[in-house]
Structure 1
Amino acid sequence: MSPSEKENFQRLLKKYVRNESTEIELEELFNYIKLQNHPNDILDVTEVLKNVKEFPEMDPEGRDRILKSILQTPQIKVTARNPKRNYWKYAVAAIFIGLFVWNNSSDKLLVLPVSESTPLQIPDEKIIFTQSNGVISLIDDSTDRTLYNDKGEKVGEITGKFFKDVSVGKDSQVKVTAYNSVYVPYGKTFELVLFDGTRVLLNAGSTLVFPSSIVDEKRQVYLDGEAYFDVVHNATNPFIVKANDLNIKVYGTSFNVSNYGEDIYSDVVLVEGSVGMYSGNPSNEIRLSPGEKGSFSKKDRIIDKRVVPTTLYTSWINGELVFRNATFESIVKKLERHYNVKINNQKASLAEITFNANFGKEPLEKVLAYLNRIYEIEYTINGNEIIIF
């Protein structure tokens, strides 16, 4: 970026922070961000902070929270990354100037403009933790961060792929529904301890939306994907997992929920304790006993249950994959999530075959070699894509 371009970029960014940009100036600013290849040339964060502090419509508590969060990370620059994937539906927008996003690996603060025409772009490999106040943390194995609310109060700690809620929500009731969320990309898992001590392990390709306190006398979370729950019993304030149209009411228990969007069933496997499953009217609840799997048909909205070996459904917790009479299509989906790859199956006849296999913490190459040796499946590897023929 030349000195004149840098000066113009700074002018545009300052006007954007103050909410004084014209449509033409906004378009010019976004083009600068998209084309920028030298992040160190972009406006220093201290200059941005000065403008943020002067922004007349910003709430003082929100401004202080931004300032306090920024001061935790030294030598921050404002930068932008090339868009890779759109996780807009998982983000909560901070409405004043965009989104402030922490990128731990590069020690940067990303200022990302957000609107329907400019959705949030986030690197594929990062776990995305979004606080209810709109602050987003991008998480990897080296992340070590303390989270604060708008009042500057400590509410959580992130260490690597682990989050612990340290807010005071355990003994409080709130009327305002404020939820955090975490998205786990393919190839990753993430563990959380919620405000009540409940532990949740999220599998790859999953999103969990959860509160930091009891809301309307309930502890209610929302799951898209797969998670293993170890729930702290509280008879007064029931724990409920909402998996789209399926509700799982928990009675102090350990269980696995699989609710991926592309699957035709949402499955609940009970390891110990007791849960109830229902869709619509709670009076139609079906109780599970330990060792049972309840399957909710998304099409027919019917719940069936049967006895299963629970380890088949919980092996992923230990980084393992276990298949019993599994269709090749279901195996492909799990391999894609587990290893963060794209598998292109060009051999239609495989769809008619069921497979049995146990894979520990094996690299993908060994898994493919096994399938080739035992089932004579031919394949080629092209970067991040596996082609089966």
Structure 2
Amino acid sequence: MDLNRENTSIIIGRIIARSIGGTITPAEQAVLDDWLQDDRHRQIYRTICKSQSINDSLSKFEEFDVNEGYQRFQASIGKKNRIKYRMWMATAAAVMVFLAVSVTIYVVTRKEGQPIKLASTHRTDIAPGGNRATLTLADGRTITLDEARDGIVIGSGAITYRDGNPLAEVTGNGEDRGATTFLELSTPKGGTYQITLSDGTQVWLNAGSTLKYPPRFSDAERTVELTGEAYFSVVKDTKKPFKVVSAGQEIQVLGTEFNVSAYPDDPEIKTTLVEGKVRLSLAGELSGAAVENDKYVELVPGEQGIISGENLTKANVDTEPYTAWKAGYFYFKKTPVEEILRQAARWYDVEVVYQDGVPYETFSGDIKRDVSLRGLLDILQHSTINVSLKESTLIVRK
């Protein structure tokens, strides 16, 4: 990228704006890194990155047109004065960077003529989620699982916690009636839990999710049903394929690790493969005929299967943003605000209300899931999101 002295400040300003917004390209990052070698530039950059400085600048320059102002200025000076102008530009670069960053952020975040403002009006707070789940047995009994423990194990004729402590209420004959009987493990909003199935397969259940499974699998296959999101680490058994059925899709594997996000309120169902290989199809089509007609996709590690309506596609992805929840943190990589707040709503058990429509903005960063909701909102304030918390409702305004 060729930077002449006259427009360096404006270009750097735009690059900084894209860096803050998480849309910077590798070429732009190289230019920014080179620019930051200067101590004065690093100081400018640190000041710009303070959200209040950006917000103050926005209020002053909302109606300023950078290109029009630049052209008028050039037209108003003669050729000789342009030499002085170039010298002035060198000394006034910091001012121009502030202007360019402010106006650029305003332009890229505006919608229908209005900028998205910054807000800090969340006085109340909400604790993060934790180990919360209920277990529903074949006879209809529901057991609230111990929050001090993080998982259960399905054994032969008995169900225990992962630490070996028994669930006395469910040990016996009733829960082991065979593969035709399904049990249910459900997590509420703000809950997560782990289960080890009878074949040794491990499943981590995210907030607001339900896993239906048999106390023991049949001799032909291993089938479970999922609503919501879960991470699977499947024990390999070539004689008994493992199948996950969720709204709109079926996944068949032999032994692998993958994440499935199939919430009813999500526009897409996403299956992200970490290890091994899976075959993915629309629900009811994972058969010999489906294979012959190519109505499926096979995923390799680093690929994601996406179902939107009746369309099935796949793409190469960074798996971390889709599996970070299992490790106990949020990981955002150019993630839209709507998706971030959707995750927050499930983990903190709150409702999200958009008073003026959904703002278009992305955010990159990571944060532990054990922080309170206030902690998450404080980090998001380094963007230009206007969000406030009233009781158990997040209110998003423009």
TM-score range relative to shorter protein = 0.5 to 0.7
Q: Aligned Cα RMSD in Å?
A: 3.4
Q: Secondary structure at the residue paired with 1:186?
A: coil
Q: What's the offset of the Cα at 1:386? A: 2.3
CA distance in 1, matches of 2:154, 2:216: 15
Report the TM-score when normalising by structure 1. 0.59
Q: Secondary structure at the residue paired with 1:137?
A: strand
- Check if 1:286 corresponds to 2:290: no
Is the CA contact (8 Å cut-off) linking 2:151 and 2:193 kept in structure 1? no
Larger radius of gyration: 2
Tell me which residue corresponds to 1:256. 259
Which of 129, 135, 142 is residue 129 of structure 1 equivalent to? 135
Tell me which residue corresponds to 1:378. 386
AA of the residue aligned to 1:129: L
Q: What's the offset of the Cα at 1:163? A: 9.6
- Check if 1:224 corresponds to 2:235: no
Moved over 3 A (4+): 142-149, 162-168
Q: What's the offset of the Cα at 1:272? A: 0.5
Q: 1:235 to 1:167 in 2, by over 3 A?
A: farther
Tell me which residue corresponds to 1:186. 189
CA distance in 2, matches of 1:207, 1:241: 12
Q: 1:232 to 1:126 in 2, by over 3 A?
A: closer
Tell me which residue corresponds to 2:210. 207
Q: 1:377 to 1:167 in 2, by over 3 A?
A: same
Is the CA contact (8 Å cut-off) linking 1:156 and 1:167 kept in structure 2? no
Structure 2 spans left out of the alignment, 5+ residues: 1-130
Which of 346, 352, 362 is residue 337 of structure 1 equivalent to? 346
Q: What's the offset of the Cα at 1:198? A: 0.2
Q: What's the offset of the Cα at 1:221? A: 0.3
CA distance in 1, matches of 2:177, 2:211: 21
Q: What's the offset of the Cα at 1:352? A: 2.2
Q: What's the offset of the Cα at 1:219? A: 0.6
Q: What's the offset of the Cα at 1:158? A: 3.2
Q: What's the offset of the Cα at 1:146? A: 9.7
Structure holding more strand per residue: 1
Q: What's the offset of the Cα at 1:376? A: 2.9
Report the TM-score when normalising by structure 2. 0.58
CA distance in 1, matches of 2:166, 2:350: 26
CA distance in 2, matches of 1:221, 1:235: 17
Q: 1:134 to 1:304 in 2, by over 3 A?
A: same
Q: What's the offset of the Cα at 1:338? A: 1.4
Q: 1:256 to 1:148 in 2, by over 3 A?
A: closer
Write out aligned runs for 1:74-153 (5 A).
127-142=133-148
Q: 1:306 to 1:379 in 2, by over 3 A?
A: closer
- Residue identity over aligned pairs, in percent, reads 31
Tell me which residue corresponds to 2:121. none
Is the CA contact (8 Å cut-off) linking 1:163 and 1:192 kept in structure 2? no
Q: What's the offset of the Cα at 1:266? A: 0.8
Q: Deviations over 1:220-245 (max 9, x none)?
A: 00000000000001111111000122
Is the CA contact (8 Å cut-off) linking 1:291 and 1:308 kept in structure 2? yes
